[in-house]
Each structure stands twice: as structure tokens, then as C-alpha cells.
């Protein structure tokens, strides 16, 4: 397939460009990723969580803050890639004309799109790793309920990169379609925010009752399932399905993103 | 030696709009080749096709001996492009703009930095090397874009309106560099709206309109063929029948709102007779230029 054969080291160069810019201002870039999970864990976990009684997950009663923590990791995977490949990519494409400058070199349009998605996935990876580290530090120090010790936790960074490719690809599809930057409100309010709220993040999807299957159509639900089971060490069939869902959706949306963005960029 | 650019029946369509309409083109090594024409004539589109960033709808195009459709990456490695629009990377300083651009060509970092510093020196931007892009003046940005286009030491350099908006000093610096590059054997394609620029720099040029070439040739030959060696300009006081009179002199007559242009090979003779007949009417004779050819061909009305 020529879409894929046009991708080579050029994609890495595009990734490097974005990484260079990111590390130029790394202090301001890391701060939100550290503060956000802290705020959520204190407000939602400790505050709201004190009102939650008898929370059941996987047949066991667990404390709310323990349920919440892996959900925050999943959320950071989604937001990392989604922000980067909507607003970030759109600014580079439309306002800065960075893509136009790059495609005049041996780097192809496919390289640019793939490089942007890889960078989005890297943002997911970086953000979620920071969230995970914050949780670990809190677990060891002040909040023993969020101390996770299952060895399967080591798989979280790899899964977060994979999930990052998926969310970045979905975002890139919207970047290929929106007429202007304000239009990103639609995917954010109609897709991202519902996932943020209903994707097995703040409460178990079982609480949704009859509409629970709808939640399982959402990519974030599968990501939270994986994050939670890898953190708890309760890996089962569900996680195999979740992984399969993510792999298939990643491949499909990645290819679709390239087709749609190419259509927009080729003059 | 094969031509640097060889195009047969080049067509580019956007839906129903034909932006480039069956053009044939041959550009030889070491030539400075100009594209002239009104906005929307198809100059930029043609250049985008040649630089491999815009696929052609029909026809055949070889650049540096390679088929552009099949081997775009290889072609792009050997050409340098200075686009019309400023697309410098605002996230980097002047020097980093060049070194990060070099990476897209797989130039090793040490070599990239050396080359970048040489180019900044050449474009007189060394002092600005650590400046952010948004702090540069328009002229500095154009010079930096030109430097960036040279980062891979290209065999073919494509310049889309390289001096638009520049002050005379900066313009002359760019012209000087274009001549230097030509001496070193670089082939250059240049689109411009400045006729003096085209006349000074181009070995050969085309005037484009509506996706087609209206004319092709050397600047001198085009001037000779199309308008003759000189022009007499007359400021026309209405109601004296001057245009009718001039039409009888054998030259070609053109007019704008209040001026009449007479293209001829014997302007001096015609002017002295004219002065005898209309002693109070202002007239002047000057050598004809490419601008006369251009305006005669594309008309004096505003285009868009």
C-alpha cells in the first residue's frame, strides 16, 4: 500500500522537530501533567470518595480513590494525544505552514502525518507516565490506597503509547475535516467529554445499566479497563478484548487519518 | 546532458478549473528561467508540480532526469525551494530554523551547523542567528528563506517571488546571490512580478496566462519581437485626435487611462514630427522594457 510505503525516517524527523520544541519549554509542559492528577486525586478521590460506600469492582469492594487512580491514567492518555493532534497539529498545518515547509524536502506528506501522530502518542505516553509517577509517589507517602504493586503495571507505558496512537489518529481525522479551529468544539463536546465522563473513569460502567454497551463502543472505556486491570493485577479475558479493540481501531484510524489528511494537504 | 526540467503536456486541474493547461517546458542546466504572469496565471502551481509537492493531473515531467511522480523523494533531495509565503518555523530561532530543516534532508548535525553558519554569513544574518523568527523584519525573513532553500546545496533552486516586499538593498543582495549561484552551475527557476528583475536575471522566460504560455524566449528577443526597441509615451489631452494620428505612423499604439504608448523602432523620428504637429503635448521616448511586453500581452486593466 503506497500510503504506508511513503513513510520512512521522514516521520522520525517530524517527530524530532516536535520533540525539540517540547523540550525547549519542558518546565511549563510538565507542570500541568503533575498538577492535574494531584487535584483530581484530592478533590474527587479523597473529597468525593469519602461519600462513596460499598463500591464494587470485579466482585470486590474497593475504595473509591483506588478505583479512580487508574482512570486518571487513562484520561491522560486520551487528552495527551487528542489535544496534540487537534489544536497542536492544526496550528502547525494552518497557521504556521510548517507542513508546507517540510513537504518541500524529501519528507513526504505521509511522513508528516505519521510523525505528528507518533508525537501525539508520545505526549500520551509522557503525560500518562507522569500521572502514574504521581500516583506511585502518593501511594508510597500519603495515600496508601493508591499503592499498586502488581507487576503487570510495567505494561502500562507500552499500552499508553498504543492508546496514544489511537487517540492521536482519531484526533488527526478531525484535523483533516474541520473548516477552522473553533470546530474542534464538536469532537471535544460530543466525543471527548462524554468519554471523559462515561468511559469507566469516575465510576464503573456497570452503573450505566442498560446503556452500558454504549460505553463499550468508546475507545476510552477499553483504555480504562486495561489501566485498572494492569494496576490491580486482575488481568483477564476482558483485557484481551480491550487490547484487540485498541489494536484494530488504531490501525483503522491511523490509515483513515492519513487518507483524510492527505486529501486536505495535497494541492 | 539531459535537461534539468523536461515537461510534456503538463496539466493540472482542480475540479473544473484548469490551472495548468498542456504546457511543454525544457530548462537546461545552469539557466535562470523566469515565470511571469498575472496572479492566478498558474506560475506557482507549475512550480509546485516541478518541486514535487503537487501531483500532476496529466502529462509527463522529469526533473533532474527522474520521473517526478515515481521518484519525488529523490528529486526533492536535490532541489531547494523558497516559497512565496513565509513558512519559517516560528518555534525556532534563526539558526535552528536552518539546522532543523537540514535534518529533513538527513544532513548530519555537525555538517548542518557548519552549512547553516555559512549560509547565514552569505545572507548577512550572522548577527541574528539566535533571534526568534517573529522578531525578524520582512526582509530578513525572505533572506532566511533563501538561505534555507540552499541548505542542501541544491542543483535546482526554485524561487517564488523572492524579492516581493524587499527594500532595494535587500533586493540587490538577493540578485547578487542568484547570479553567484548561476555562475556555480545551479539551475534556477524564478517567478516574479518585477519585470526589471526578470530582465536582469533571466536567461529565458515565459509569460503565463490562464495556465498557458503566451510567450517564451530571452528577454531581449521578446522585447524586440513584441514591442520593438523603443517606446514613445504621450500624455493624451482629450479631443485632439492624437491616438488617430499616432496610428498612422506605422508603430503599434496602446493606451491606458490617460497615456498613449507607441511601440516602434524609430521613436526619435516619430517624436520630432509629433512635436512639430503638437508642440504643447508632453511626450517622451525611452528604450522599451519587458514591462511593455508584459502589459501589451496581458493588458493594462487590473486583474483581480
pLDDT in tens, A195-235: 999 999 999 998 898 999 999 999 999 999 999 999 999 99
pLDDT at A136 over 90: yes
Q: Which residues of chain B have pLDDT under 70?
A: 1, 300-304
Q: Do A104 and B51 touch (CB under 8 A)?
A: yes
A107–chain B Cβ distance below 8 A for any pair: yes
| Overall fold of domain B229-287 | Alpha-Beta Plaits (3.30.70)
What is the SS3 assignment for chain A? CHHHHCCCHHHHHHHHHHHHHHHHCHHHHHHHHHHHHHHHHHHHHHHHHHHCCCCEECCEECCHHHHHHHHHHHHHHHHHHHHHHHHHHHHHHHHCCHHHHHHCCCCCHHHHHHHHHHHHHHHHHHHHHHHHHHHHHHHHCCCHHHCCCCHHHHHHHHHHHHHHHHHHHHHHHHHHHCCCHHHHHHHHHHHHHHHHHHCCCCCCHHHHHHHHHHHCCCHHHHHHHHHHHHHHCCCCHHHHHHHHHHHHHHHHHHHHHHHHHHHHHCC
Domain ranges of chain B: 5-222, 229-287
- For residue B128 the three cell numbers come to 541574528
Q: What is the pLDDT of residue B132?
A: 96
DSSP B282: -
What is the rounded distance in angstroms from the CA atom of residue B289 to the CA atom of residue B291?
5
Closest partner residue to A20 (CB to CB) among B86, B88, B100 is: B100
Nearest residue of A to residue B51, measured between CA atoms: A104
A91–chain B Cβ distance below 8 A for any pair: no
**CA–CA–CA angle A139, A142, A145 (5° rounding):** 45
Q: What residues in A contact B91, CB-CB < 8 Å?
A: 21, 24, 96
pLDDT band at A1; cut points 50, 70, 90: low
Q: What mean pLDDT is predicted for residues A165-170? A: 98
- For residue A69 the three cell numbers come to 487512580
Q: Which CATH class is domain B5-222?
A: alpha beta
Q: What is the pLDDT of residue A102?
A: 97
A101–chain B Cβ distance below 8 A for any pair: yes
Nearest residue of B to residue A14, measured between CA atoms: B104
Q: What is the pLDDT of residue B304?
A: 56
* pTM, two decimal places: 0.92
Q: What residues in B contact A106, CB-CB < 8 Å?
A: 73-74, 76-77, 104-106
Closest partner residue to A100 (CB to CB) among B73, B83, B92 is: B83
A267–chain B Cβ distance below 8 A for any pair: yes
pLDDT in tens, A69-99: 999 999 999 999 999 999 999 999 999 999 9
Asked if B109 contacts B116 with a C-beta cutoff of 8 angstroms, the reply is no
- For residue B223 the three cell numbers come to 522585447
- For residue B90 the three cell numbers come to 516560528
pLDDT at A25 over 80: yes
DSSP class per residue in B210-243: TTEEEEEE-HHHHHHHHH-SEEEEEE--TTS-HH
pLDDT in tens, B275-286: 988 888 899 999
B113: part of which helix (H) or strand (E)? helix B109-122
Q: What residues in A contact B152, CB-CB < 8 Å?
A: 105
pLDDT at A147 over 60: yes
Instruction: Determine the distance in angstroms separating the CA of B153 from the nearest CA of chain A, rounded to an integer.
Output: 12
Q: What is the pLDDT of residue A97?
A: 95
Close Cβ partners of B103 (under 8 Å, ≥ 6 residues apart): A13, A16, A17, B109, B112
Write down the residue that cell numbers 517526478 correspond to.
B68
Write down the residue that cell numbers 495515600 correspond to.
A143
Q: Work out the mean pLDDT of chain A and round it to a whole number.
A: 93
Q: What is the pLDDT of residue B302?
A: 63
- Rounded to 5 degrees, what are φ and ψ at B285? -115, 135
Q: Do B106 and A96 touch (CB under 8 A)?
A: no
What is the rounded distance in angstroms from the CA atom of residue B254 to the CA atom of residue B246?
10
Q: What is the pLDDT of residue B239?
A: 77
pLDDT in tens, A39-56: 998 888 888 988 988 898
Instruction: Determine the distance in angstroms separating the CA of A60 from the nearest CA of chain B, rounded to an integer.
Output: 51
Number of residue pairs across A and B with CB atoms under 8 Å?
62
Q: Do A97 and B72 touch (CB under 8 A)?
A: no
Cα B122 from chain centroid (whole Å): 22
- Rounded to 5 degrees, what are φ and ψ at B218? -80, 155
The helix/strand/coil state of B85 is coil
Amino acid at each position: 500500500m503506497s500510503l504506508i510505503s511513503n513513510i520512512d525516517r521522514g516521520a522520525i524527523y517530524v517527530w524530532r522537530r516536535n520533540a525539540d520544541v517540547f523540550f525547549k519549554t519542558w518546565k511549563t509542559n510538565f507542570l500541568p501533567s503533575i498538577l492535574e492528577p494531584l487535584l483530581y486525586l484530592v478533590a474527587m478521590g479523597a473529597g468525593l470518595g469519602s461519600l462513596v460506600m460499598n463500591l464494587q469492582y470485579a466482585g470486590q469492594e474497593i475504595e473509591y480513590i483506588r478505583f479512580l487512580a487508574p482512570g486518571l491514567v487513562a484520561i491522560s492518555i486520551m487528552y495527551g494525544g487528542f489535544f496534540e493532534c487537534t489544536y497542536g497539529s492544526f496550528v502547525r498545518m494552518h497557521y504556521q505552514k510548517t507542513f508546507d515547509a517540510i513537504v518541500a524536502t524529501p519528507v513526504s506528506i505521509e511522513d508528516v502525518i505519521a510523525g505528528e501522530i507518533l508525537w501525539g502518542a508520545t505526549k500520551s505516553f509522557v503525560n500518562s507516565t507522569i500521572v502514574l509517577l504521581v500516583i506511585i509517589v502518593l501511594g508510597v507517602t500519603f495515600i496508601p490506597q493508591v499503592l499498586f504493586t502488581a507487576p503487570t503495571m510495567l505494561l502500562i507505558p507500552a499500552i499508553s503509547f498504543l492508546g496514544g496512537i489511537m487517540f492521536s489518529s482519531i484526533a488527526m481525522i478531525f484535523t483533516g475535516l474541520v473548516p477552522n479551529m473553533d470546530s474542534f468544539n464538536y469532537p471535544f463536546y460530543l466525543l471527548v467529554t462524554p468519554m471523559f465522563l462515561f468511559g469507566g473513569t469516575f465510576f464503573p460502567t456497570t452503573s450505566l445499566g442498560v446503556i452500558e454497551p454504549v460505553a463499550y463502543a468508546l475507545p476510552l472505556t477499553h483504555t480504562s479497563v486495561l489501566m485498572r486491570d494492569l494496576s490491580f493485577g486482575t488481568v483477564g479475558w476482558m483485557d484481551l478484548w480491550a487490547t484487540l479493540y485498541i489494536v484494530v481501531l488504531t490501525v483503522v484510524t491511523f490509515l483513515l487519518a492519513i487518507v483524510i489528511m492527505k486529501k486536505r494537504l495535497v494541492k | 546532458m539531459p535537461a534539468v526540467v523536461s515537461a510534456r503536456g503538463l496539466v493540472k486541474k482542480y475540479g473544473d478549473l484548469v490551472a495548468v493547461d498542456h504546457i511543454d517546458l525544457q530548462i537546461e542546466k545552469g539557466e535562470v528561467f523566469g515565470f511571469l504572469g498575472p496572479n492566478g496565471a498558474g506560475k506557482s502551481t507549475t512550480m509546485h508540480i516541478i518541486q514535487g509537492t503537487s501531483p500532476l493531473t496529466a502529462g509527463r515531467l522529469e526533473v533532474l532526469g527522474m520521473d517526478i511522480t515515481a521518484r519525488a523523494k529523490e528529486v526533492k533531495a536535490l532541489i531547494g525551494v523558497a516559497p512565496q509565503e513565509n513558512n519559517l518555523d516560528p518555534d525556532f530561532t534563526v539558526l535552528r530554523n536552518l539546522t532543523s530543516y537540514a535534518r529533513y534532508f538527513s544532513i548530519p548535525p555537525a555538517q548542518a551547523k557548519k552549512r547553516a553558519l555559512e549560509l547565514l554569513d552569505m545572507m548577512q544574518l550572522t548577527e541574528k542567528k539566535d533571534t526568534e523568527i517573529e522578531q525578524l523584519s520582512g526582509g530578513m525573513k525572505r533572506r532566511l528563506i533563501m538561505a534555507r532553500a540552499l541548505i542542501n546545496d541544491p542543483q535546482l533552486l526554485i524561487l517564488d517571488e523572492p524579492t516581493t516586499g524587499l527594500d532595494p538593498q535587500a533586493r540587490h543582495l538577493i540578485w547578487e546571490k542568484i547570479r553567484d549561484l548561476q555562475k556555480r552551475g545551479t539551475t534556477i527557476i524564478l517567478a516574479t512580478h518585477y519585470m526589471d528583475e526578470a530582465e536582469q536575471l533571466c536567461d529565458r522566460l515565459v509569460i503565463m496566462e490562464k495556465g498557458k504560455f503566451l510567450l517564451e524566449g530571452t528577454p531581449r528577443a521578446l522585447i524586440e519581437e513584441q514591442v520593438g526597441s523603443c517606446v514613445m509615451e504621450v500624455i493624451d489631452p482629450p479631443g485632439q485626435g492624437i491616438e488617430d494620428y499616432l496610428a498612422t505612423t506605422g508603430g503599434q499604439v496602446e493606451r491606458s487611462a490617460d497615456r498613449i504608448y507607441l511601440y516602434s523602432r524609430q521613436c526619435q523620428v516619430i517624436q520630432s514630427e509629433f512635436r512639430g504637429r503638437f508642440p504643447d503635448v508632453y511626450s517622451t521616448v525611452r528604450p522599451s522594457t519587458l514591462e511593455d511586453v508584459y502589459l501589451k500581452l496581458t493588458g493594462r486593466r487590473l486583474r483581480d
